[in-house]
Structure 1
């Protein structure tokens, strides 16, 4: 069984509140806890784990936040995935939990429990990071008799906490736009910041910590390094215009060139990226590790694997237990010329007993199933537990860097060239097709091609909503898919749906916040 940073019980317990001014409950005894160098590792582990896990006692019990009755709903990456995928052509869900179908049909409100979980989980991660950054400051660690080796290690964790805070703020900017910006633990109700202020903070923070981050591919598995930082920079810059900023395509290419020169390699088989031993892949840049024994959660890939299994599928074939929830739409299936997987191995669909058309969102057999993630290894061995997955969640990987590089070049960024971009795209397609039969030529490399190629390569990895918005295909009626806007064949949706509302519960307790337009 592999080990990684947050595979064990955490010593630091988080308070369950979205307010940016709330300290972890053990902070009162920090002069005792933080006299031990190992405590900084434990606290850093809690911040990392807050992206995947839900509490202190495995899959349920002692939850970080108590907004909903089902603790499994409160896994951050599960909530983030729903927001990025259920609102697009790539995924629908059959369940009837209050508010979940509103994501499928684009009628969510500020009272939606899944939007609320998303927001509150982000604003749990941010104050945890703020507190860690404070207690690990040079002034504070100088109070203790740490060795030079221990001090160097604490500084590394501090840089990683700043990265994780920047990552959380990028998600907050992308999902909610107008959010509070706070970099310290205070007793004041946070003020709302503009998208420009959030964008500039993330941009400047990542530049400031780059030299302090561990080199790409040199950190402990599951921890962030310079490769993760460069990918986050590239994501921020690629979407700059969406956030109301001037284009940053040249800066995007600059960051991607660092990634592309860091020694990452494509996995030799596409499916291997989504199996229980995907931690061995040379393509992974930053993952959220899962372990069916040591880090049990009903979120992350446990949700993605079990939620996609049902109907006539044999759950044990996927190392899973079927929850009968997730499928895809015909609009996404149509991105592939051959859905069998024999031509393009990325076409991972289960069709037996499943209809292509979704006449009823609540019926699992309406819509093709997508067993892209599996709790079995590349050699066919099952994970350690059929309920809790060993498959790590791929937050950033090299294939995405290839696609982003090509897009930034086509959008006019300097520092790259179309010939290199074409080679990167054909590298992905040769892996998918097993040979050069799927390769494209220079005239075929267009933005219209890339948005569909991103769907084929990156589906169900929580990129689709961001991508469709950047290509002006998310709202409006230029591109529709089944159940967009609540219509069985799809219809136009209003532009304000590009972002989510500030939860009504947060507005009620903080008069400094204004609701996003349209809600």
Structure 2
């Protein structure tokens, strides 16, 4: 199914436009003033193919893969990809992330001192505006067809247009509302008008969307989930609380067929990490994903998306091969503010091995990474099922191999370090001291190495070896803990599809069920009339997964607004929501909450509240005299 939807998504994006566009559509600025594409679809099959471009515009950046013939010019093509821009605007501007690169305009984001000419705030505006443009063209042309299935295609396009406008409201507040192809320059709309448009669209299409859809395409539940988000932010955006509506539509999602992933495939004690691995379309995580951007290292290559999230977070002493890629870009880390939100604990190796439920076997680990070095005796593994072996072990930086009955006549190593074993093969490296889960699959001759985080909350996925908790210099990768949340390896330790390790397979959840649980809890606490007991139960469902058991569960007395905000941070970090959350709590620009390097100060400082929204790009204003710049810019 993943390959089907990826072929569906990438067919147009990589090979051709299905739209006949006017001469300057592919020039900058491509914004809501430029909606004039035209095409006539002859049947439902062609309309379905054209629909692919609407999804692909959020995942990819042009017509021929990672670079060349871009949708948006005048910015590096990889920079312009939607989820990479979402990270830059909604994570890099917060306590969740810093980046060591000095590209013009990039340090301004974490320092909260960007201008109206910032390339990155401008790129997101153009990307979203282009998505609206493509959707308008599709809706206009597909509406001429009478095939019954086209109605659901149009509903999908209207959802994607509403999603684009949701983000435009969030980031820029006041943008043109254009729903028809026209050569007229549109006037500027305000947040209430845009909010009403998105709300009306989602309410109207909810019954036209399928009750379920193929993986990677939106369904009826996606409309409810986006309404949940919209209503949660209504008080900030339009001055009117809509928390009761947030509770209602969150409830609709909670009672739908989606479910929290509890499938701990790699046996590391939590099913949280499976959400961000290369096989998250099949390992159980897909049951939690409501709206995803799909990536494949061969079929849909981009320097944004999960390729960016994996590569950019690797540097210092980190071994890129353990993340399934060919190297790190040495950029993104986090601040101590995120690290300190997690409850740190210790790893009880004996208890973890007892929980495996297996019996000690004659297969073991041998090498200078093990407690007895190459001379042995071996560290014996537990047979958890026929020909399946696991062991939690404290290992040191070095190498190991798998050996049977301490006999060098029967041993396995890995010549290519690709997760596949060969008899008498090469040594397998352990990059740093620490606790690990090692698995061995003799049926398929594969293995996996998973670092076990020394934390009660296993969502705390940090690399600390050689890294400083506090940041003295943002440009120094060793300042700030690295994030290991996203990987290009499967749940069983296998590699991604790109044999060169350059491009990543991991799909990115744009909306997942866990977020809706947290929306429900927050809206309930803000007076939305929800059930506090249900809110506690749903948060405990997330925390039980995070802790590998009930040890982190809370009671109703623990459930406060600040607790929910911190829980959103622990659950959703680097998924593109943090800035929006902080604004809702009046923490983003004010002095009510400071983090390292907020306002470009080591200990953090407040900044002007006008920075709660980004500027309209200067070139867009020069193109359309109907536009006025947002206050403060």
Matched, 1:316 2:318: no
Q: Deviation per CA, 1:374-418, whole angstroms, max 9, x where unpaired?
A: 10111111111211110001101111111111111111112x200
For residue 206 of structure 2, give the secondary structure of its aligned residue in structure 1. helix
Q: Deviation per CA, 1:465-485, whole angstroms, max 9, x where unpaired?
A: 011111111111111111100
For structure 2, list consecutive stretches of 5 or more residues without a partner in the other structure: 263-270, 346-452
CA distance in 1, matches of 2:4, 2:204: 30
Q: Deviation per CA, 1:118-150, whole angstroms, max 9, x where unpaired?
A: 10111100011011110011xx225xxxxxxxx
The CA deviation at 1:3 is 2.3
Matched, 1:392 2:398: no
Q: 2:175 aligns to what? A: 179
Asked whether the 8 Å contact 2:218–2:291 carries over to 1, the reply is yes
Q: 2:67 aligns to what? A: 60
Q: Which runs of 4+ in 1 moved over 6 A?
A: none
CA distance in 1, matches of 2:241, 2:621: 32
Q: 1:148 aligns to what? A: none
**Larger helix fraction of residues:** 1
Q: 1:195 aligns to what? A: 191
Question: Aligned in 2, Cα 1:341/1:171: closer, same or farther, shift over 3 Å?
Answer: farther
For residue 265 of structure 1, give the secondary structure of its aligned residue in structure 2. coil
For residue 211 of structure 1, give the secondary structure of its aligned residue in structure 2. coil
Matched, 1:271 2:265: no
For structure 1, list consecutive stretches of 5 or more residues without a partner in the other structure: 143-150
Q: What is the number of residues matched between the two proteins?
A: 500
Question: Aligned in 2, Cα 1:180/1:24: closer, same or farther, shift over 3 Å?
Answer: closer
CA distance in 1, matches of 2:462, 2:61: 30
CA distance in 2, matches of 1:389, 1:227: 28
| 1:49-88 correspondence to structure 2 within 5 Å | 49-68=56-75, 70-88=76-94
Asked whether the 8 Å contact 2:136–2:180 carries over to 1, the reply is yes
CA distance in 2, matches of 1:341, 1:457: 17
Matched, 1:251 2:245: yes
The CA deviation at 1:288 is 0.5
CA distance in 1, matches of 2:69, 2:138: 21
Q: 1:37 aligns to what? A: 44
Q: 2:289 aligns to what? A: 284
Asked whether the 8 Å contact 1:10–1:42 carries over to 2, the reply is no
Asked whether the 8 Å contact 2:36–2:183 carries over to 1, the reply is no
Asked whether the 8 Å contact 1:481–1:490 carries over to 2, the reply is yes
CA distance in 2, matches of 1:185, 1:263: 37
CA distance in 1, matches of 2:116, 2:578: 22
The CA deviation at 1:7 is 3.1
Q: 1:476 aligns to what? A: 590
Q: Quick one: which of 467, 470, 475 aligns to 1:357?
A: 470
The CA deviation at 1:332 is 1.0
Asked whether the 8 Å contact 2:70–2:77 carries over to 1, the reply is yes
| 1:144-223 correspondence to structure 2 within 5 Å | 151-215=147-211, 218-223=212-217
CA distance in 2, matches of 1:391, 1:296: 12
For residue 6 of structure 1, give the secondary structure of its aligned residue in structure 2. helix
Asked whether the 8 Å contact 1:341–1:348 carries over to 2, the reply is no
Question: Aligned in 2, Cα 1:194/1:23: closer, same or farther, shift over 3 Å?
Answer: closer
For residue 483 of structure 2, give the secondary structure of its aligned residue in structure 1. coil
CA distance in 1, matches of 2:35, 2:251: 39
CA distance in 1, matches of 2:166, 2:253: 19
The CA deviation at 1:342 is 3.7
For residue 409 of structure 1, give the secondary structure of its aligned residue in structure 2. helix
Q: 2:361 aligns to what? A: none
CA distance in 1, matches of 2:102, 2:122: 17
Decide which moves more: 252-261 or 165-174: 252-261
CA distance in 1, matches of 2:89, 2:597: 15
Q: 1:122 aligns to what? A: 128
CA distance in 2, matches of 1:153, 1:55: 28
Question: Aligned in 2, Cα 1:20/1:448: closer, same or farther, shift over 3 Å?
Answer: closer
Q: 1:92 aligns to what? A: 98
CA distance in 2, matches of 1:497, 1:241: 18
CA distance in 1, matches of 2:36, 2:316: 44
Q: Deviation per CA, 1:36-60, whole angstroms, max 9, x where unpaired?
A: 4322122111111111100000001
For residue 164 of structure 2, give the secondary structure of its aligned residue in structure 1. helix
Q: 2:114 aligns to what? A: 108
The CA deviation at 1:22 is 3.1
For residue 38 of structure 1, give the secondary structure of its aligned residue in structure 2. helix
TM-score (norm. length: structure 2): 0.77
CA distance in 2, matches of 1:77, 1:183: 24
CA distance in 1, matches of 2:468, 2:565: 25
**Larger strand fraction of residues:** 2
The CA deviation at 1:79 is 0.8
The CA deviation at 1:80 is 1.6
CA distance in 2, matches of 1:210, 1:337: 40
Asked whether the 8 Å contact 2:316–2:477 carries over to 1, the reply is yes
Matched, 1:333 2:339: yes
Q: Deviation per CA, 1:56-107, whole angstroms, max 9, x where unpaired?
A: 0000111001021x21111111112210000000011111111000001001
Asked whether the 8 Å contact 2:17–2:63 carries over to 1, the reply is no
The CA deviation at 1:266 is 1.0
Decide which moves more: 332-341 or 44-53: 332-341
Asked whether the 8 Å contact 2:10–2:53 carries over to 1, the reply is no
For residue 50 of structure 1, give the secondary structure of its aligned residue in structure 2. helix
Q: 1:145 aligns to what? A: none
For residue 396 of structure 1, give the secondary structure of its aligned residue in structure 2. strand
CA distance in 1, matches of 2:34, 2:109: 30
For residue 463 of structure 2, give the secondary structure of its aligned residue in structure 1. coil
CA distance in 2, matches of 1:78, 1:152: 36
CA distance in 1, matches of 2:4, 2:155: 22
Rg larger in 1 or in 2? 2
The CA deviation at 1:343 is 1.3
For residue 285 of structure 1, give the secondary structure of its aligned residue in structure 2. strand
The CA deviation at 1:241 is 0.7
